[in-house]
Structure formats: structure tokens, C-alpha cells
Amino acid sequence: MIDKTKKRHRMRIIIPAYPAFNIYSFIAHKTTSLGPVCVASVVNKMERWDAEVIDENNLRWYGPRDEKGGADHEFLQQCRPAEVVGLYGGLTSTIPRLYEIARFYKEKGAITVAGGQHFVEETIPEAFANGVDYIVRGEAEITIKELLNALENNLDLRTVKGIVFRNGRGEIVNTPLREPLTDFDKFALLDFSLVRYARISVYPVERIRGCGMDCEFCTVKGKPRCASPERLLEQISFLLETRNARHFFIVDDLFGQQRDQTIRFCRLLRDYQRQVGRRLDITVQIRLDKASDSELLIAMRQAGINTVAIGFESPIAEELKAMRKRIKPAEMISLARIYRRFGFLVHGMFIFGYPLEEGHYFTMPPTERFRRFKRFIRQAKIDTIQVLLPVPLPGTQLRERLRQRGRVYPLEDIGWEYYDGNFPLFEPDAPLSAEEMQSAHRKIMSRFYQFKYMFMIGLNIFFFPAVIFFPHNIKMGWRKWYRLWRNNLIRFGGWITLRKWTTAFKKDRFSQKLREARNHLHYSSS
């Protein structure tokens, strides 16, 4: 219980470290997760509570580390004891570390509260067996205030909507789910100063929660709910004026879901930048077909949106048809080039080897799949890419479909730490094997991110004076030069990242675990 005699209480929210070096490690050193900051900002406004966020993937400013590379929680608890510890379960691959932290704080007498997309009916008993006291289901801004108030004043926990806990008899109690939030403007502006020890150069912000696409592999569902364009502008201007923030990532799953409101936001942001004399750099996630809306694209460019992340999913016509995507690779290439013509940097996101539903089959050897990916990326002129393997996340339709067919590898063999998109987690469609699927995935990435781009960076610098050959449009000359320099720099950096990942993979026992998992799967199905 919480000591009511204390004048103030502390809640520490922890973002667990990645289990190993991966493709997200580089950007994680520059940013943080938005959800924990939302919750901490609410808690910090409560009368008798202080809040802080510890991002174990971004401990760049005097951050105390333990021997494993995460935060030194023994040191933190000695310096600033926390009575309640929040645990961010938004990434399934970090769950083993989350449980490790939960058990530590449980032994220290702290109350542990976990939340995030990972925690569904399947995983809740596992969480309670690993040091978690309470689980928050859904959005936490209101729930956490009610939960802390109930804990502080010894109130009936069954009156708090959106939580799961165990009663005195050890039985799991689910309170009614809370209605999704709709009025976001009533909450305080996000306070990123609560993220201790972190150096943040890319700030995550949002306007829209939810996504109506209902993809079977995704945990984000529900009707989109929006804050006002003025609210997002207020958050961005606050961060610029108080933290000199210049780079932002709007984390909305699909930027432009409300077209008119999106255009109005872009124009408000354009006018604000002109008034204060600062140019911002913004990245968004957007649908490929929005390339047909020139008014939207013009407004986005004027607002400082320079990079678009687009889910292409697959460049293979047969696979797109089987996935019920009413688009062909040639159309995708044309639309991607429109974004490029408008001056956007295009980050392409792909899924390799997606398992098809029953009744939708085609066979293609991995060499031909690789060739199709390579050709598409070249023809679409994509600036950067991210190719992942399908991940059957808890609570998704994809996991349920594969599990019903007996294709998901057992967790006792391949644990949650491998659920990051870099490892095969189920029996793939024929003729692919799990090893071939992973090898082809790595081959696509390694052909795009290569060592040779180190030399290209030098050539870009040498030819920088070529910008003067655009005297009629210096701005256009600069953009052409910058795109080449930036892409070469990222591709060389990607080569370094892949090399580190390969080194870590060779030290891991995944290949052996994969063989054991496959044997157990085949044995259980026979």
C-alpha cells in the first residue's frame, strides 16, 4: 500500500530496453515513446504526486546503467524511491526485460502497474506471475489517476474502469473497459522534461488516435479520434519555444485521415513557422494513395513535412492480389514517384513472406522474391527502406489465424524477445522455409545498406559546389544535393547497424532454438 503519511509520492514509468541491438536502436537514441510521456504528464499534475520517465534505450545524459546496459534501478531506488512503478509494454520484444524490472521493484516493496498493447487476455496471467500487480487496459490518462487515487486512499479497485488485478483469493478481476478518449484538448501539454537522462532530438507528437484500416497484423484498432489542429500546433510550438525542438514525428497511424482538418493544420503550422522565423522538419506516416491529392501534398510541404513513411507491404503482384489489395506494383511505383516529385523523402516499409489466408496460394522461390523486391525499390526510387518479417503479436487476428492452423512456434522455444520483426516466428508458406525467409529478409536490407556509400558521402561533399549550377533555383540545387548526401549517409549508417545486428545474431542461440521449436511444432501436430 501507499504510505499516506508522506506529503508527496513518486511514480516512475520505465520504458524497457530492447533485448539486443536491432534496427530500432539508432533512432531510439534520439527519441522516446509517446505513451509514457502522456501518462507521466498527467500524473505530475496530480496534487501529491511527482512523475518521471526512464527510457532505458535513451540514457545519454548521465544515465546510470547496470551491467546489462539497462538502467541501474538499484541506484535509482536509493536516490529517488518510487512507490509506484509503471511499465511500458508497447513493444512485445521488450516484455522479458519488463518482467525482470517488475520483479525487482516488487521485491523492493513498490507497486507495479503495466500497460501497453502487449497485455491482452493471453498474456495477463503471465504478467501477474512475473511481478506485475495491476494492468491498465486501453488508454491510461484517466485510468491512472483513478487507480493512484484508489491506492492512496484504500478505495474499492472495482470502481476503477479499465484495470485488471488479482483479488485476495488470487482470482483475476477485470473491471469494465473505459470508453475511448475523445476530448484530448482537456489534458495538459506533454512535458518531455520528465524523461530523465534522455537526449531527445526527434519529438513524437500526435493528433489522431485509432485507425480504421483494421489490418489483421496490427494492434491499433477502432474509429479514429482526433484532437483539434490548434491543439497539435500548440504542442509543437510549446516544444520549439521551451526545448528548441526542430524535428518532430507525428505518430498518427495514418496522417491525413481527416483531410480537411489535416490541410488546416498544415496551413496553421506553415503560418506559425513564417511568423517565428523557424523551419521545422517533420515526418509522418501516410497512405500511398494520398499521392493523388495534390492539394494535401502542397499543404504538407509548406508545413515542413519532409519525410513520409509509407507501408507498401509487398511489391509482388501475386501476393498483393492474395492479400486482397486492389493495386498493382506498377501503380505503387507511380504513386511513390509522385511523393518524390513533390520533394518528399520516402521511407518504404515492407513485410517479407506474409502468410496468406486459406484459399489464396501462390508459390515463388526466395530468389525470385528477392529479385522482385530489389527491382521495385529501385524503380520506385525509395530513399530508405525497412523490411520486416511478419510478427504474430498477441491480440491480433494474424496470431489467432496462425495459431488455429498450428503454425506459431511455441513460446517456450522462441520467447517474446524475438518478436521484433527480424526473426521467423511461425512456419512460413511453402516453398519458403524459416531459414530462407530470414536469409532473404537480411539480403534485401544488406543490398540496400552497403559499405560503399561511405565513399559516396565523400564524393557528395566534393561536388557540393555543383549547387551553383542551379543559379535560377538555388533551392532546387540544394535539395538535389542534400537528398543524395543524406541518403548515402543513412545507407552507410544502415550498413553499420546491420553489421552490429549480424554480430549479435551470431552470438545468439536463435538457430538452435528455431530447430527445437520446429521439432516441437511438428511433434504436437502429428
Q: What is the pLDDT of residues 477-506, one digit of tens each?
A: 667 778 888 888 999 998 998 898 888 888
Q: Report yes or no on 63 lying in a domain.
A: yes
Give the range of the structural domain holding residue 99, as residue numbers without chain letter: 9-174
Q: Report yes or no on 43 lying in a domain.
A: yes
Global pTM reads: 0.93
Contact status, residue 216 vs residue 274, Cβ threshold 8 Å: no
Q: Report yes or no on 420 lying in a domain.
A: yes
Whether residue 412 sits in one domain with residue 291: yes
Whether residue 215 sits in one domain with residue 128: no
Apex 308 CA angle, 307 and 312, nearest 5: 145
Whether residue 207 sits in one domain with residue 90: no
Whether residue 258 sits in one domain with residue 397: yes
Whether residue 349 sits in one domain with residue 237: yes
With H, G, I as helix, E, B as strand and everything else as coil, classify residue 307: strand
- Cis peptide, bond prior to residue 428, ω within 30 of zero: no
Whether residue 247 sits in one domain with residue 317: yes
Q: What is the pLDDT of residues 257-284, one digit of tens each?
A: 889 999 999 999 999 999 999 999 999 9
Whether residue 147 sits in one domain with residue 74: yes
Other Cβ atoms less than 10 A from the Cβ of 452: the count is 10
Whether residue 330 sits in one domain with residue 222: yes
Cα separation, 372 vs 163, whole angstroms: 47
Q: Report yes or no on 96 lying in a domain.
A: yes
Q: What is the CATH number of the domain that holds 31?
A: 3.40.50.280
Contact status, residue 210 vs residue 225, Cβ threshold 8 Å: yes
Q: How many domains does the chain have?
A: 2
Q: With CA atoms as reference, report the closest residue to 312 among 273, 339, 294.
A: 339
Whether residue 231 sits in one domain with residue 104: no
Q: Report yes or no on 129 lying in a domain.
A: yes
Whether residue 225 sits in one domain with residue 170: no
The tens place of each residue's pLDDT in the chain, 526 residues long, gives: 677 778 899 999 999 999 876 767 778 889 999 999 999 999 999 999 999 999 999 999 988 999 888 999 999 999 999 999 999 999 999 999 999 999 999 999 999 999 999 999 999 999 999 999 999 999 999 999 999 999 999 999 999 999 999 998 999 999 999 999 988 888 989 999 999 999 999 999 999 998 877 788 888 877 889 999 999 999 999 999 999 999 999 999 989 888 999 999 999 999 999 999 999 999 999 999 999 999 999 999 999 999 999 999 999 988 887 777 788 999 999 999 999 999 999 999 999 999 988 877 788 889 999 999 999 999 999 999 999 999 999 999 999 999 999 999 999 999 999 999 999 999 999 889 999 999 999 999 999 999 998 888 777 666 555 555 555 555 666 677 788 888 889 999 989 988 988 888 888 899 999 999 998 887 776 5
